[in-house]
Amino acid sequence: MIFFDKAAEADVQGRNYIPLMAVLALLTVTGVAFAIHALFVGHDHVFGTSREVPWGILITPYVFFACLSTGICIISSLGQVFNIKPFVPIVNRTVFLAIIAMAAGLMSIGLEIENPWNMAIYGFLSPNPLSNIWWKSSIYTLFLLFMCLNFMFLLMKRDGVARIMAFGALVAITCGNLNMNSDMAILGARGFWAENYMPLFFLIVSTLSAACFVVVLLWLSSWLQKRNIEEKVRGSVGAIYKLTMVLVIGALCFAVMKALGGFSEKFTDNPEAMQMLVRGDFALNFWLGEIVLAGVLPIILLYLSKGGKNIGLFALAGFCALIGISITFYDLIIVGQLIPHFHQYNLFGEPAFYSYSPTLHEYMMVIGTTSFFFLAFLGGELLFNSKFLENLRS
């Protein structure tokens, strides 16, 4: 892909990609087929969501890929907008990854919405500036437009115009990311999502997920093409290593704050949800996913990678962190909804906690969205290591 700058230097084993791409394409189509079936029979019949718990597991890939795209945009801006030298060699690849990540996020939320066409039609015909969701969809659409133009001008070697597009995309996506918790908190005024540290949390976790994903895909690209990583890109890997180490420690600090909230009410705005997360039914998710996989284990593997020189261990650390971040987002979305609005009043006939379990349809749509992202990545591998890139630039 654009992980190698010159198409002529890349020995792409295209036929090795075809079986994997075929499998990913089949999974993507299957996920879309399940979504179409849900439209015909009704989401209330095939989704595990309810009036009390309206958001299910499909919101997780939406938040994950939207935050991933945000972080990748930030990393690309370090090289393109701020001209920080170690990040310059990976500008092309990060811009491309930001585009397909946001496309995957919008695909996920599109499959989850029962009438997805209404967002496109009425969001344009009857905009509501008082709606957080309208602002978020508009900002993400604007961001995707900026990034596509940015990528096009990069390929055309019009770096000045591309830099302007990159700056516009950075401003748009930063506003959208910092407002992420506001969208969630309006759902019944869930205090679990309205913690004061949430904007900073989303910014740090977004950049962390991006750094991890870039390294994992860089290792995957070199492995698929059976060649070593270029020397100038290794300089970028060293810079990403330092960034990743700082961000993992920062994310672990937020997890510790959650743990404190689970044991003491003074550390949280929603003690019931924090107790369920830290000491209740979601305790395994929290301690294994948010503490071990997203924090402790990556720090150990990063240390063993010797400053990122061992790219295999670095990629493994990134992979563990990504799994942990996915679990973190799932917990963040689901746990806050399981606490009834008037839980503290012990109302007669009301359950102590709501419940939610993902269904087959929801799982298949998540698989379809994730498969789409990796299918787009492999498509980029084939396209941008072909003569197409040379012809476009000449």
Q: What is the pLDDT of residue 95?
A: 93
Question: Contact at 8 Å (CB) between 300 and 259?
Answer: no
Are the beta carbons of 147 and 99 closer than 8 angstroms?
yes
Q: What does pTM read for this prediction?
A: 0.89
* Amino acid code (one letter) for 206: S
Query: What is the distance between the alpha carbons of residues 307 and 329, in angstroms, rounded to a whole number?
Result: 28
First-to-last C-alpha distance (Å) of the chain = 18
List phi, psi (to 5°) of 158: -100, 75
Q: What is the pLDDT of residue 9?
A: 44
Ordered alpha helix ranges (H), the chain: 14-41, 43-46, 59-80, 91-112, 116-125, 132-155, 159-178, 180-185, 198-225, 231-263, 271-279, 283-284, 297-304, 311-335, 360-384, 387-393
The torsion angles phi and psi of 116, rounded to 5 degrees, stand at -65, -25
Q: For residue 260, give every residue at least 6 positions away whose Cβ sits within 8 Å of its Cβ, in sequence order, or none.
A: 267, 268
DSSP state letter for 9: G
Q: For position 118, what pLDDT does the model report?
A: 75
Taking the C-alpha atoms of residue 196 and residue 371, their distance in angstroms, rounded to an integer, is 35
pLDDT at 271: 83
User: In 3D, which of 67, 71, 86, 267 has the Cα closest to residue 179?
Assistant: 67
Residue with the two structure tokens 């963040």: 332
Q: How far apart are CA 320 and CA 201, in angstroms?
A: 19
From CA 360, how far away is CA 48, in angstroms rounded? 9
Q: Are 300 and 284 in contact (CB under 8 A)?
A: no
Phi, psi torsion values for 52, nearest 5 degrees: -80, -35
171-188 tens-digit pLDDT:
998 888 777 666 665 665
Asked whether the beta carbons of 314 and 237 are under 8 A apart, the reply is yes
Per-residue pLDDT of the chain (394 residues; tens, 9 = 90+): 444 444 344 444 556 678 889 999 999 999 999 999 998 998 889 999 988 888 899 999 999 999 999 999 999 999 999 999 999 988 988 999 999 999 999 899 888 887 777 777 777 778 877 777 777 788 888 999 999 999 999 988 899 999 999 999 999 988 887 776 666 656 654 656 666 777 888 899 999 999 999 999 889 888 877 777 777 788 889 999 999 999 999 999 999 989 998 898 887 777 888 899 999 999 999 999 999 999 999 999 999 999 888 999 999 999 999 999 999 999 988 988 888 877 766 777 778 788 999 999 999 999 999 999 999 988 887 776 655 555 545 5
CA–CA separation, 201 and 197 (whole Å): 6
Single out the residue of 359, 358, 323, 364 nearest to residue 26, CA to CA. Answer: 364
Find out whether 219 and 312 touch, Cβ atoms under 8 Å: yes
Distance in angstroms (rounded) separating the CA atoms of residues 195 and 344: 19
Helix 59-80 to helix 360-384 angle (10° resolution) is 30
